[in-house]
Amino acid sequence: MRVTVIAIESLTKRYPKVTALDRLTVGITPGVTGLVGANGAGKSTLIKILLGLSPATEGGATVLGLDVAREGSAIRERVGYMPEHDCLPPDVSATEFVVHMARMSGLPTTSARERTADTLRHVGLYEERYRPMGGYSTGMKQRVKLAQALVHDPQLVLLDEPTNGLDPVGRDEMLALIRRVHTDFGISVLVTSHLLGELERTCDHVVVVDGGKLLRASSTADFTKSTPSLAVEVTDTDTHPDGTEALRSALVAAGLSAQAPGAAGAPGAGHLLMVDATDESAYDTIRDTVTELGLGLVRMEQRRHHISEVFNSEPGAVGTAPAVGPQAAPGVASSGAHPAPADALADRQLQPQKGGSGDVA
């Protein structure tokens, strides 16, 4: 497998009235990569360009080493695409439809039938595959859409909002399936979503775009910093009417950094204390301190930093939202209006991602 699955070089796409992509430069390595952005951030435009269906205004990109401007047909033979919207005719059965789509990708009829049966089983469609698709639930339709993208055994699949319209259980199943597409099937995945929490669980790498610009590109582990943070909740007692505050001062005295969480408004946030657990002894210190104070320990749990903190400062404000997260570089704060720092950031952020690809490939 190649080191870089998708290489995007200062890609710009301008429509008469809007700039959908603005000098986007990013490299995507094998594995599951999440493409995150609010609606209108340029995700779908990027996918169209990557499939060779829409010419770029400036810059270029290669997919699997093939140029999107000149070798679109060859790219589309090796790449699977699952659109965001409905795309299934209602009066055809899933089997008929997926066989047809496999043939449209160039598979001979016998292979198309075999692969259809295999793929539908892998995505979890059994007896219902012989029924017309008009009667399918949203979850089943999403599975068929995924199956048609995988049926020709592509090297890369582009999944556009695959969890759209699914209930929480269906969402989890779809995410697990996407994970398996890479781990079990050996197919690289580029999956778009506007829900960061989803991609956090599924992806090896996350690329965040906003207003057609790159905000961040790095591995999920970098995003969700591994230094564990402990959430501690205690009860109040007669001796300590404000148990949380008492514990905080006691812990600070014991040499630990403890503060009330920034996320106000969350249920029980007033009673929560975030403690940086630098090493194992922190757990013991907290336990002993709580016992000494005679407080009741309601809970103590590990918290990871969430990717969504990237957007925390101004969620949804397209084009103006600077990235301020726990990991954000200082230069990013002003990047919204000035492209230059954003590019610098892009180049810098690319390095860890490329370096991190070794274990995946």
Backbone angles phi, psi at 250, to 5 degrees: -65, -40
Tell me if 100 contacts other proteins by CB under 8 A: yes
N- to C-terminal Cα distance for the chain?
7
Please, what's the b/e burial string for 274-302 (b: 16 or more CB within 10 A of its CB; e: otherwise)? bbebeeeebeebbeebbeebebeeeebee
Touching other proteins, residues 34-63 (CB under 8 A): 44, 47-48, 51, 53-54
Touching other proteins, residues 265-324 (CB under 8 A): none
List, as one string, the DSSP characters of 209-235.
EETTEEEEEEEHHHHS-SS-EEEEEE-
**Measured from the CB of residue 93, what is the shortest distance to other proteins in angstroms?**
8
**Measured from the CB of residue 11, what is the shortest distance to other proteins in angstroms?**
17
Contact 231, 305 (CB under 8 A): no
Q: Among 111, 235, 308, 313, which residue sits at the site for other proteins (rule: CB under 8 A)?
A: 111
**Measured from the CB of residue 306, what is the shortest distance to other proteins in angstroms?**
32
**Measured from the CB of residue 106, what is the shortest distance to other proteins in angstroms?**
4
**Measured from the CB of residue 133, what is the shortest distance to other proteins in angstroms?**
9
Element (H, E) at 63: strand 58-63
Distance of CA 206 to CAs 39, 58, 166, 183, 250, Å?
17, 24, 22, 17, 39
Q: Among 56, 81, 211, 275, which residue sits at the site for other proteins (rule: CB under 8 A)?
A: 81
Contact 125, 144 (CB under 8 A): yes
Q: Is 119 helix (H, G, I), strand (E, B) or coil?
A: helix
Touching other proteins, residues 141-170 (CB under 8 A): 148, 152-153
Contact stretch for other proteins (CB under 8 A) within 34-42, 95-103, 203-211, 260-268:
95-103
Binding site for other proteins (CB under 8 A): 44, 47-48, 51, 53-54, 73-74, 76-77, 79-81, 83, 85-92, 96, 100-101, 103-108, 111, 115, 118, 121-122, 132, 148, 152-153, 184-186
